[in-house]
Amino acid sequence: MNSELFSIIESLIFTADSALSTDRICDLLDEFERDKIKVALAEIVACYQERAGGFELVEVAGGWQFRTRPAFHRYITRHIKTRASKFSQSALETLAIIAYRQPITRAEIEHLRGVDCGGVLKSLLEKHLVRILGKKDVPGRPLIYGTSKEFLEIFGLKDLKSLPTLREIQALDEQPQYERQEELQLEPEKAIPVESQLPFE
């Protein structure tokens, strides 16, 4: 292990405002070979996993970031006294459509939702969860939207391929196997004699 490289990468990631990609780390540390940087990153991940402390190094939003362990979330919120971001149903629906259908225009989003989404789109843009990717090459040249790096960071996704599939989402509604289990075949109950069948003395 190159302890100096380990420490340098650790400090770069720790001080970064957002997830730091492997490419960016390699650009910043051009005096080190790319393969050695990748090995050092794997060693840092393993070190923090083995330590099992309050935070870990995770790959998120196409880069590396130190994050507190999800198991300690309720304790952390007591300290920082902030409420988790809350999204309206319409914002979540719009965000989900953009995430799964991007690049997509406002008209296409509204066609799928069946309602106007101008205000919701503006809110998502202000929160930096959605970004403008450009203009569609059709009459009127409408803007096209996609999710941002911040979207991946907030939802803890390595990339868009990490989004759950439709099949995985549908599986959440299915009853677990043990709840669908057929009734067990037990021994037939012995007939309880009725009063007329009881022997008389």
Q: Which of 31-35, 38-42, 108-112, 172-176 has the lowest mean pLDDT?
A: 172-176
CB 59 within 8 A of CB 161: no
User: pLDDT digit string (tens) for 61-84?
Assistant: 889 999 888 888 888 877 776 555
Higher per-residue confidence, 165 vs 39: 39
Cα 110 to Cα 119: distance, rounded to the nearest angstrom: 12
Q: Is residue 201 very low, low, confident or very high in pLDDT (cuts 50, 70, 90)?
A: very low
Is pLDDT above 70 for 200? no
Domains and CATH numbers, the chain: 3-79 (1.10.10.10), 89-154 (1.10.10.10)
Return phi, psi of residue 63, to 5°: -150, -170
Q: Where are the beta strands (DSSP E) in the chain?
A: 55-60, 63-68, 104-105, 130-135, 143-147
pLDDT attached to residue 18: 85
pLDDT attached to residue 9: 93
Return phi, psi of residue 24, to 5°: -65, -40
pLDDT attached to residue 158: 82
Q: Taking Cα atoms as reference points, which of 15, 7, 10, 4 lies closest to residue 57?
A: 10
CB 29 within 8 A of CB 64: no
Is pLDDT above 70 for 180? no
| Rounded mean pLDDT, 80-91 | 70
Q: Is 71 exposed, middle or buried (0-12, 13-18, 19+ CB in 10 A)?
A: exposed
pLDDT attached to residue 149: 87
